[in-house]
């Protein structure tokens, strides 16, 4: 029922992208997002597309998995496209009716904006599909470590994040079970008007909150029982260390970003 949610969905496969250091992948996602909003014109678009196809091929994750994430932002895409389409001023007017004007620039803007959004989702989902949530928070913690110099509790934030991520599947499963249990008692979550449907959520949400608090309490107790005190002095079983392939990946990224910038400046 609720298994379609793709947040933090790791797809196990044996590829070079899976093996990369999570810090590289975080940086890659960031650079890719920047590049998407930097490129202008067809040449930049082709380069960004080629890079994406290259990454998808390399990751060995089925393309259908990445497309799944797009479903969630269909409405956002439609609204963005509509705004760009109707509200871009320009000289070349294609269609004009009532208060709407569609210009050539509008069509171009809408198309590019759509492509950017789609690439953004697909590109970042490569990162989440090839990195386990734990690796991801590890990478984030290490990348943000310099901030702890200015008293940002980096370790605590990373810990909270990994716990939150860990709880997502648990709570989804729990929701599924509670939903079924209430359905077994004749509850109806699908039919009725908005108010009735909102009301039907009470038998689902109350037990869910109770169990979330119970779980949080148990976890806190278990951590304390094992003398957890936080960041300082903690070592890792598998510390992150850059390997050759990671430096190579950084190099490719820099070349790619430089290519995008050059294309923008000179074309």
CB of 12 to other proteins, least distance (A): 6
Coil/strand/helix, residue 73: coil
Q: Distance between terminal CA atoms of the chain? A: 49
Minimum Å gap between C-beta 64 and other proteins is 9
Q: Categorise residue 152: left if φ over 0, alpha if ψ from -120 to 50, beta otherwise.
A: beta
**Least distance CB 225 / other proteins (angstroms):** 20
**Which residues form the interface with other proteins (CB under 8 A)?**
3, 11-13, 177-178, 180-188, 202-203, 206-207, 210-211
**Radius of gyration of the chain measured on its C-alpha atoms:** 23
Which backbone phi and psi does 96 adopt, to 5 degrees? -140, 120
Least spacing, CB of residue 91 vs other proteins, in Å: 50
In angstroms, what is the minimal distance from the CB of 61 to other proteins?
9
Q: Looking at beta carbons only, is 186 or 239 nearer to other proteins?
A: 186
| Nearest CB to other proteins, comparing residues 199 and 243 | 199
Q: Which is nearer to other proteins, 82 or 177 (CB)?
A: 177
Going by the DSSP 8-state scheme, the letter that residue 132 receives in this structure is -
Distance CA 239, CA 190 (A): 47
Residue closer to other proteins by CB (options 70, 161) is 70
* Coil vs helix vs strand at 123: helix
Closest-CA residue to 18 (of 136, 154, 178)? 136
Q: Which is nearer to other proteins, 1 or 262 (CB)?
A: 1
Are 115 and 45 spatial neighbours (Cβ–Cβ below 8 Å)? yes
Q: In angstroms, what is the minimal distance from the CB of 186 to other proteins?
A: 3
> Whose CA is closest to 31, among 39, 20, 40, 43?
39
Instruction: Please say which residue, 96 or 180, places its beta carbon nearer to other proteins.
Output: 180
As measured in angstroms, the least distance from the Cβ of 163 to other proteins is 21
Q: How far are the Cα atoms of 35, 109, 166 from residue 81, in angstroms, in the given order?
A: 20, 8, 35
Please state, as a whole number, how many other Cβ atoms lie within 10 Å of the Cβ of residue 236. 9
Nearest to 123 by CA among 61, 39, 38: 61
- Comparing CB distances to other proteins, the nearer of 152 and 181 is 181
């Amino acid at each position: 029922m609720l298994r379609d949610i793709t947040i933090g969905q790791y797809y196990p496969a044996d590829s070079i992208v899976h093996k990369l250091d999570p810090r590289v992948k975080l940086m890659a996602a960031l650079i890719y997002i920047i590049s998407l909003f930097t490129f202008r014109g067809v040449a930049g678009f082709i380069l960004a597309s080629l890079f994406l196809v290259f990454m998808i091929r390399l990751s060995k994750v089925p393309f259908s998995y990445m497309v799944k994430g797009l479903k969630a932002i269909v409405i956002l895409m439609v609204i963005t496209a509509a705004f760009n389409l109707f509200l871009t001023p320009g000289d070349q007017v294609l269609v004009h009716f009532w208060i709407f004007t569609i210009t050539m620039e509008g069509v171009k803007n809408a198309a590019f904006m759509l492509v950017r959004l789609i690439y953004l989702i697909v590109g970042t989902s490569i990162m989440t599909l090839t990195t386990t949530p734990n690796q991801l928070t590890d990478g984030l913690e290490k990348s943000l470590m310099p901030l702890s110099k200015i008293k940002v509790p980096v370790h605590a934030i990373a810990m909270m994040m990994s716990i939150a991520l860990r709880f997502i599947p648990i709570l989804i499963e729990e929701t599924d079970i509670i939903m079924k249990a209430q359905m077994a008692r004749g509850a109806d979550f699908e039919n009725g008007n908005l108010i009735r449907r909102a009301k039907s959520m009470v038998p689902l949400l109350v037990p869910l909150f109770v169990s979330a608090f119970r779980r949080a309490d148990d976890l806190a107790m278990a951590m304390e029982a094992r003398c957890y005190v936080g960041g300082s002095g903690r070592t890792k079983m598998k510390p992150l260390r850059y390997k050759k392939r990671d430096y190579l990946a950084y190099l490719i990224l820099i070349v790619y970003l430089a290519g995008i910038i050059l294309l923008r400046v000179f074309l």
